[in-house]
Chain A
């Protein structure tokens, strides 16, 4: 039995650099594994939210307006049929396409919704490029609605820069719905979709806005640009849509150029694609672009609309289900070289549009041409109608205000009765 060796490390680091490399690799691998799983789960949650929007058991109380019956036809079906595994990589054209359909798109306000002051927020929409901003794994990427990358940059968002000790674990993953405002190079945040890997798809707008306000600032994302934070982020101020809120949004001075007012139903979840629970409204005072311009930036004398040609010759809007505007006869289709699926541009003639209960009774359409290839979708019913109204009998800010004051009086009545 020999005496036991009791030498201790002398003038040496307790951990060799090789062991350090090994440990760092293991850490990196386990973070990436956790990222991959987290991504799969996040995207799964968003697909779930998409599917559940068509499920009949949606709670009627939290959804004051009936959800449109969304089936899986049309461009949204890409999302639900898309395998999570493929989407989990967030790479390649497939994923881009998937992304493009992930934004919540407002309908145009063609009549004033009920309970405006109780159930809705109003905010002044910044003019600029609508995009998704995704921060994960040390980098931030902004993608336009068509899926193309706008910026690829470091930011103070969680996981948005390759910098240690900043904003929590590397595996976090955040998605913001933003408008990039060129003039001051700022991302104005209009909605929050995922925060630190936590999906907000199925949260109400009320919660999402609260979360957005309380969380974004903590990260330093609202600070001026710096080395690890290339663009400033800013939360768009939002108001309860009562008289003073509407007034503030409409007339208030803001650091950005306004492009209309956005109305968010407080109880609505983040719904990808078009939704009647978010509405856009504009007039000349709060937007430079009320009436659509042509490619040369001129307002054409007649309203132009783009519709999709169906197999049976019907020309329809991009809505889901599509709204039939008119029907083309087979000879005309043949002559013009159109094929099913074509997007076709028309002008609205003096006969105008006439619609009842969301269906076109009569539409005086004049064929112009096949629409240019850059367009992905036809116009929606609400857009066509808003543009039509803007040219003929626009919905004015006074109409909104008077609706609010009417509601206020209605609100007071039952109180009186109760105390009776």
Chain B
């Protein structure tokens, strides 16, 4: 058994700069933990609480303790929670006592670590009604505590609110927590550390304050204290107080009307005069208000009901005359090299971003407030003024109606093209190219009545963009982006595209950009391939011969990336990124050319292309794998039954993809591709089904796999069943119980938040698609009777979905289709059962009178099949 002294030494050794010592210590810690968990955790807590121990060993003890309670991965987290709950009460009580005692330590770091550990324990125990005295003991005599203990206690309360869901804390405790926190924030609190801790705690406790924000007096009090804190002489307190305001803007938008005038004054002062860290938060307040109003107005637009949950108060619109000048001022505070620094974020960037959001929230109204600024500054000798004017212009292009902007944009276009070639400032050119992209994104396309790009200026625009693609990487990247939207605007142009005469030149220029020595800077290479993809996607049959010529070119490039040997890890990473881009590009080309009339010629490349994709799987890069997998799915669809010849070699990568739990995107994409292959191969997929089904069933039972992959796996069952028909028989005994338990789970899960409802619906849809495929696959087979025992449950499931009243339209369509498939396949065997179900009456009628014709169609089908099933 280890003694306390040894623990201290182990913890210190685990931080040694000597690798061998460190490794040895880490192994011993693991060993200790595995041999005697309770003793291990208890000695860590004891170490943390012991003021005589070195700070370093205490901090690490706290960290190891924290990691023993929580993990990022859901399944691991669940295990740790169960492990903690199963510890004996005596140990847990002792650990809790050690933790609370640590809050009084004179060492700030140690107190802070203890705060976090206490919150983790609370996160596990409070939902189980354990440690009920925690909140009470933290709050008892908080007023009499020495400042450093008070500070640690407030910090603990903040973390606690972050860890614990509001519904497991009684309102009485919530009130006490908020009272303590808000009092700690008050100007009357003399100690700045306490005041800062309280302000940060409030930020985390805001989610608990629902009831208090509904009470006028309490809300006035909280708002007054927060606003006062924004005026504190301490910059960190001002920043934390603004963070609270930002959070309040989105959480309690509908409660703010009364305070907006004051908040405007506070934020304006901060933006103009305060430290940048504070000014950024003040701007963020307005960005958050815009976010809320954009969401609300979007919902209005979609529904036309006018009785949305949250009304729009048009705060942005009211503040417009004062807010816009405030934001325009910030645009002049650019940093010299902000466009070259990926991580840059400053007041000019925040101000322009906010201006863009304001434009989306108020639409046409913003234009007269911004135009004078642009006109005055766009030709000034100082690059800052020209850039600010251009940035302002680019920012307001989304929101106002095309009618309002068209004249201005037409007048500005020539100026912009000129600036792009002649302006000496890199910064101005960057913003100008970006603005052109915005013009094409929002004001160019089939929905715009008077086109911006005409026969007269098309040549010039393309020439300038191609020229700009040779500029500095950051400027060239924006030019590629502009080309992207230029092409996108011709997406549904019909057989003759104005880009056709320039097609060859555009493709060649983009390839040249991708090959620039400095293409890895400023995301330039990615932007070039993305533009290339969009140009191909939006191309017409006129240019299909040129797209066809691109195939061997891109394949050769992919081939070259696979030949590179002995790369540094940095080079390898760039290589993998390039492989991903090239596979993505091939995927787009496959979708373009893989159907008539180009399919035949295109498919002559298929063998070689497939060979390259398989080699990409040999490299270790999740992104490249995902892209190659997507491309293969598209290829399978184009190849149809001929795809069978690739299966022997491809199969192992399919299996690998399904086993990739960590990079769940790869797994998800692989599941989708199995669907493609089922539709391409039909019953020729049979030899591979044992392996695929085994892996899919494993995926479903795994608690490591991201939950978003599970609904598509169910849909994939349906794809397989539809492809192999009654051969699905041998999987029935495994898949049906899985479907059944998932169906039950989805019935219990609904009703929580929007995100949960969305997930529940995607789960239902997957389950239903599986049933559909299975029923249709078994239709007309003598083995149909195997499915009869499952009919009652499936009908119950349909009924429960209907009763829950929270299904979306996709589920509605799939569900009523399943009813039809069930009736069609099982016929008179289930006639009586169907007649008893709610689905066959109210639900069916509701679908029959749906406005959505796909739902109606599925319902007609169901009605038809049911009539037949019950008439026999």
Interface residues in chain A, defined as those with a beta carbon under 8 Å from any beta carbon in chain B: 1, 3-4, 6-8, 10-11, 13, 16-18, 21-22, 24-26, 28-29, 32-33, 36-37, 40-41, 44-45, 48, 52, 57, 83-85, 88-89, 91, 138-139, 152, 162-165, 168-169, 171, 196-199, 202, 226-228
Which residues of chain B come closer than 8 Å to A24, judged between CB atoms? 591
Take A29-B676, A40-B779, A84-B776 as given contacts and tell me if A89 and B682 are in contact as well, using a CB distance cutoff of 8 Å: yes
Q: Return the contact of B868 from the options A8, A16, A36, A52 (Cβ within 8 A).
A: A52
Q: Which of A17, A24, A36, A152: most chain B Cβ within 10 A?
A: A17
CA distance A64 to B481 in the complex (A): 68
Residues of A within 8 A of B864 (CB): 45, 48, 202
- Which of A22, A44, A171 is B779 in contact with, Cβ under 8 Å? A44
Q: Is B539 interfacial (CB 8 A cutoff)?
A: no
Is residue B100 contacting chain A, with contact meaning CB distance below 8 A? no
Question: In the complex the two chains form, what is the Cα distance from A88 to B776 in whole Å?
Answer: 10
What 1/0 mask marks residues of chain B from 526 to 544 whose CB sits below 8 Å from any chain A CB?
A: 1001100110000001000
Whether a CB of chain A sits under 8 angstroms from the CB of B669 is: yes
From B155, B773, B779, A83 is in contact (CB under 8 Å) with: B779
Cα A202 to Cα B863 in complex, Å, equals: 13
B78-86, B217-225, B627-635: which lies at the A interface?
B627-635
Contacts A3-B240, A8-B353, A197-B857; is A40 near B776 (CB within 8 Å)? yes
Check if B267 is an interface residue, CB within 8 A of chain A: no
Q: 3 closest Cβ contacts across the A-B interface?
A: A227-B495, A17-B530, A40-B776
Q: How far is the CA of A202 from the CA of B494 in the complex (A)?
A: 37
Does B66 belong to the interface (CB within 8 Å)?
A: no
Question: A165 contacts which chain B residues (CB < 8 A)?
Answer: 492
Contact of A84 with B780 in the complex, beta carbons under 8 Å: yes
What is the distance, in angstroms, from B711's C-beta to the closest C-beta of chain A?
11
A contact residues around B633 at 8 Å (CB): 25, 29
B587 interface hit (Cβ, 8 Å): yes
Contact of B861 among A21, A25, A41 (CB under 8 A): A41
**Smallest distance from the beta carbon of B641 to chain A beta carbons, Å?**
8
Contacts of A44 in B (CB 8 A): 776, 779, 824, 865
Q: Are B239 and A29 in contact (CB under 8 A)?
A: no
How many angstroms between the C-alpha atoms of A171 and B813 in the bound complex? 14
Contact between A228 and B246 (Cβ–Cβ < 8 Å)? no
Q: A85 to B630, Cβ gap below 8 A?
A: no
How far, in whole Å, are A18 and B641 apart by their CA atoms in the complex?
A: 28
Residue B609 is within 8 A (CB to CB) of chain A in the complex:
no
Task: Scan B852-867; emit 1 where CB is below 8 A from any A CB, else 0.
Answer: 0110010011001100
Q: Looking across the interface, which residue of chain A has its beta carbon closest to that of B204?
A: A1
Residue of A at shortest CB range from B349? A10
Interface size on B, residues (CB 8 A): 81
Interface status of B807 (Cβ within 8 A of chain A): no
Q: Is B287 an interface residue (CB 8 A)?
A: yes
Q: Which of B127-135, B172-180, B276-284, B297-305 contacts A (4 or more CB under 8 A)?
A: B276-284
Q: Which A residues lie within 8 Å of B46 (CB)?
A: none
Is B699 among interface residues, defined by CB-CB distance under 8 A? no
Q: In the complex, what's the smallest C-beta–C-beta distance from B820 to chain A, in angstroms?
A: 7
* Interface flags, B80-112, vs A, CB<8A=1, else 0: 000000000000000000000000000000000
A-B contact pairs, 28 of them (CB 8 A): A6-B246, A6-B281, A6-B350, A8-B353, A17-B530, A22-B626, A22-B665, A25-B587, A25-B633, A28-B637, A32-B676, A37-B722, A37-B776, A40-B779, A41-B817, A44-B779, A45-B861, A52-B868, A83-B780, A85-B722, A85-B777, A85-B779, A88-B776, A91-B640, A196-B853, A198-B857, A199-B861, A228-B494
B239 closest partner in A (C-beta):
A3
- B513 CB to nearest chain A CB (Å): 15
A88 to B682, alpha carbons, bound, how many Å? 10
A residues less than 8 Å from B591 (CB atoms): 24, 28
CB-CB nearest in chain B for A197: B857
Whether B772 sits at the interface, judged by CB under 8 Å, is yes
Chain B residues near A228 (CB-CB < 8 A): 494-495
B627 to chain A, nearest CB (A): 7
Q: With A13-B481, A83-B780, A163-B492 as given contacts, are A25 and B682 in contact (CB-CB < 8 Å)? A: no
Instruction: Out of B158, B246, B634, name the residue touching A1 (CB < 8 Å).
Output: B158
Query: What per-residue 1/0 map shows which CB atoms of B708-751 lie under 8 Å from chain A?
Result: 00000001001100100100000000000000000000000000
Contacts of A139 in B (CB 8 A): 595-596
Known: A41-B776, A41-B817, A198-B860. A36 touches B630 (CB 8 A): no
Query: Would A18 and B349 count as touching, CB distance under 8 A?
Result: no
Taking the closest CB of chain A, its distance from the CB of B226, in whole angstroms, is 16
Q: Which secondary structure characterizes the binding site on chain B?
A: helix
Minimum CB–CB distance for A213 against chain B, Å: 19
Q: A18-B627, A32-B676, A44-B865 are in contact. List 18 more A-B contacts (CB 8 A).
A: A6-B284, A7-B345, A16-B530, A17-B533, A21-B587, A25-B587, A25-B633, A26-B672, A33-B719, A36-B722, A37-B817, A44-B779, A48-B865, A83-B779, A83-B780, A163-B494, A164-B492, A227-B541
Q: Which residues of A contact B587 (CB under 8 A)?
A: 21, 25
A18 and B580 contact, Cβ closer than 8 Å, known pairs A3-B240, A165-B492 = yes
Residues of chain A within 8 A of B860, CB atoms compared? 198
Q: How far is the CA of A32 from the CA of B769 in the complex (A)?
A: 13
B799 to chain A, nearest CB (A): 22
Chain B residues lying within 8 Å of A197, measured Cβ to Cβ, are 857
In the assembled complex, which residues on chain B have CB atoms less than 8 Å from the CB atom of A227?
Answer: 494-495, 541
Give the docked Cα–Cα distance between A202 and B682 (Å). 29
Minimum distance in angstroms from A160 CB to a CB of chain B: 12
User: Are B243 and A4 neighbours in the complex by a CB distance under 8 Å?
Assistant: yes
Q: How far is the CB of A203 from chain B (nearest CB, A)?
A: 11
Known: A84-B779, A138-B595, A169-B854. A10 touches B353 (CB 8 A): yes
Q: How far is the CA of A139 from the CA of B595 in the complex (A)?
A: 9
Please name all residues of chain A whose beta carbon is closer than 8 Å to the beta carbon of B243 when the two chains form the complex: 3-4
Chain B, Cβ-Cβ closest to A24: B591
Distance between Cα atoms of A52 and B541 in the complex (Å): 46
The interface residues of chain A lying within 8 Å CB-to-CB of B287 are: 8
The contact string, 1 if C-beta is below 8 Å from chain A, for chain B 829-872, is: 00000000000000000000000011001001100110010010
Q: Tell me which residues across on chain B come within 8 A of A91, comparing CB atoms.
A: 640-641
- Tell me, rounded to whole Å, the shortest Cβ–Cβ distance linking B327 to chain A: 14
For A18, give the chain B residue with the smallest CB separation: B584
Known: A25-B630, A25-B634. A11 touches B530 (CB 8 A): no
Cα A88 to Cα B478 with chains together (Å): 48
Is B208 in contact with chain A by the CB < 8 A criterion? Answer: no
B163 interface residue per 8 A CB criterion: no
B430-457 vs A, CB cutoff 8 Å, 1 = contact: the mask equals 1100100000000000000000000000
Bound: A251/B380 CA distance, A? 82
Residue B385 lies at the interface, judged by CB distance under 8 Å to chain A: no
CB pair A85–B857 under 8 Å, yes or no, is: no
- Please tell me if the beta carbons of A33 and B675 are within 8 angstroms of each other in the complex: yes
Taking the complex as formed, is B588 at the interface, i.e. its CB lies under 8 A from any CB of chain A?
A: yes
Question: In this assembly, does B491 line the interface, its C-beta being within 8 Å of a C-beta of chain A?
Answer: yes
Q: Hey, which chain A residues are within 8 Å of B596, CB to CB?
A: 139, 152
Tell me which residues across on chain A come within 8 A of B481, comparing CB atoms: 13
CB B250 to nearest CB in A, in angstroms, measures 12
Tell me whether A33 and B434 are in contact in the complex, defined as CB-CB below 8 angstroms, given that A40-B779, A89-B682 are known contacts: no
| Chain A CB within 10 Å, residue with most, of B280, B588, B679 | B679
**How far does the alpha carbon of A303 sit from the alpha carbon of B595 in the complex, in Å?**
49
The answer to whether A40 and B672 touch (CB under 8 A), given A83-B780, A196-B857, is no
CB distance from B708 to the nearest CB of A (A): 12
Report yes or no: B492 in contact with A21, Cβ–Cβ below 8 A. no
In Å, the complex CA distance between A138 and B597 comes to 12
A17 contacts B584, CB within 8 Å?
Answer: yes
Contact call A40/B722, Cβ cutoff below 8 A: yes
Which residues of B lie under 8 Å from residue A17 when comparing CB positions? 526, 529-530, 533-534, 584
Question: Considering the chains assembled together, what is the distance between the CA atoms of A89 and B676 in angstroms?
Answer: 13
Q: Which residues of A contact B492 (CB under 8 A)?
A: 163-165
Q: A44 CA to B777 CA in the complex, in Å? A: 12
Quick check: A1 and B200 within 8 Å, CB to CB?
Answer: yes
Task: Assess whether B821 is interfacial by the CB under 8 Å rule.
Answer: yes
